[in-house]
């Protein structure tokens, strides 16, 4: 069996990955070794089969014995361990959910329902670093893969509505704390005049005691139109990833222009995007829907009605599922070939854990052949 070292399996993305691997029976076909950065020697997780005790995630000698290393430990771990491991001459497959190696010339960003041919070609050419992509980029490509496949995308602008979970577990907990603080302030006067309730809520959100250590600002009852670090051109790095990673995933010789504004909103899980696409041809809505629906097994076209939108096109409906609904599809009044749509996806699944899980299975299959 292929020996697979798994690092970072306790964190948010790692926990989702483990859940998916258990559900899909992925552990049956591999020889897993679990690594830790803090609890070496302790018992590993229950995966339904006997496994060794936890190994030291910084022990290069032990990591060298793995055919595949799959990590959700984060970029700091990758930057510290990956070069040391490669410097030993290790030729194994490195699969990573973190961003550190995404734009490296020697890596491929993986999203196999969209770029399986790129993955296969790279693997056959000797590439061994396979990296999960940015969450909003991956979800956008899952939603619009059919339009890209048809060569219909001239340019895209995406306005994102990104959940607290995209910032990490501490941020999710802070959002809940913010919700609690707002409720505590409003509940005693909820039966009174709405103006008093509104004032109490705003004063609470602006108060020094309101929990903002992680976000730096109120998110519950508000939003934050800034994600990641600034770029010289006025974008944030999160916004830059749209054009950089999309074109790398698709291996485009001529880059497709992509830009937009990334906004953090007060949802726990699932990123949403309002997308404007300039098509190369003036396709009717029915043809756009057909192309979108034909791309993969998970995209779902939602009819442009209030009832269907409220039922299927919200983070509440999508959380914990692999479905990527696309709705509100219509032509814009800007001119021929302009369409708009709205899409939602669970960024902890297709935006993080699922692409690396599927890449693990691809790598195991190739190494076992």
Q: What is the dihedral of CA 79, 116, 350, 136, to 10 degrees?
A: 70
Phi and psi at 219, nearest 5°, equal -115, -45
**Of 148, 147, 142, 150, nearest to 297 (Cα)?**
142
Q: Which of 82, 262, 270, 271 is catalytic?
A: 271
Catalytic residue at 271? yes
Let me know if 270 is a catalytic residue.
no
Residue 224 phi, psi (nearest 5): -130, 105
Which residues, 6 or more positions from 170, have their beta carbon under 8 angstroms from its beta carbon? 214
Angstrom distances, CA of residue 9 to CA of 6, 17, 41, 322: 7, 7, 16, 20
Pull the structure tokens for residue 89.
């001459």
Q: Which of 72, 135, 262, 270 is catalytic?
A: 135
Q: Could you give the residue numbers annotated as active site? A: 135, 271
């Amino acid at each position: 069996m292929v020996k697979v070292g798994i690092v970072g399996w306790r964190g948010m993305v790692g926990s989702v990955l483990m859940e998916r691997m258990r559900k899909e029976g992925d552990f049956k076909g591999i020889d897993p070794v679990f690594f830790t950065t803090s609890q070496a020697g302790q018992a590993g997780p229950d995966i339904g089969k006997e496994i060794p005790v936890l190994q030291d995630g910084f022990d290069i000698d032990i990591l060298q014995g793995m055919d595949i290393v799959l990590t959700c430990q984060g970029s700091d771990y990758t930057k510290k361990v990956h070069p040391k491991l490669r410097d030993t001459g290790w030729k194994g497959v490195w699969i990573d959910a973190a961003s550190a190696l995404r734009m490296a010339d020697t890596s491929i960003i993986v999203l196999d329902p969209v770029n399986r041919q790129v993955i296969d070609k790279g693997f056959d050419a000797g590439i061994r670093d396979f990296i999960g992509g940015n969450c909003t980029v991956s979800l956008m490509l899952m939603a619009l893969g059919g339009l890209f496949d048809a060569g219909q995308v001239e340019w895209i602008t995406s306005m994102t509505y990104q959940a607290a979970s995209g910032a990490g577990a501490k941020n999710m907990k802070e959002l809940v704390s913010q919700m609690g603080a707002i409720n505590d302030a409003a509940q005693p006067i909820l039966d009174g005049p709405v103006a008093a309730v509104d004032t109490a809520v705003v004063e609470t959100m602006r108060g020094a005691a309101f929990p903002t250590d992680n976000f730096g600002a109120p998110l519950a009852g508000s939003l934050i139109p800034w994600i990641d670090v600034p770029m010289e051109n006025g974008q944030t790095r999160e916004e830059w990833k749209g054009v950089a990673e999309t074109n790398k995933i698709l291996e485009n010789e001529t880059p497709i222009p992509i830009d937009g504004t990334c906004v953090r909103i007060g949802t726990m899980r699932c990123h949403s995007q309002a997308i404007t696409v300039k098509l190369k041809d003036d396709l009717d809505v029915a043809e756009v829907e057909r192309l979108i629906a034909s791309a993969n097994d998970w995209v779902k076209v939602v009819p442009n009605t209030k009832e269907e939108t409220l039922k299927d096109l919200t983070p509440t409906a999508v959380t914990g599922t692999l479905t990527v609904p696309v709705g509100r599809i219509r032509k814009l009044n800007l001119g021929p070939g302009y369409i708009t749509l709205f899409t939602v996806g669970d960024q902890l699944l297709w935006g993080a854990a699922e692409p690396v899980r599927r890449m693990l299975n691809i790598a195991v299959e190739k190494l076992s052949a």
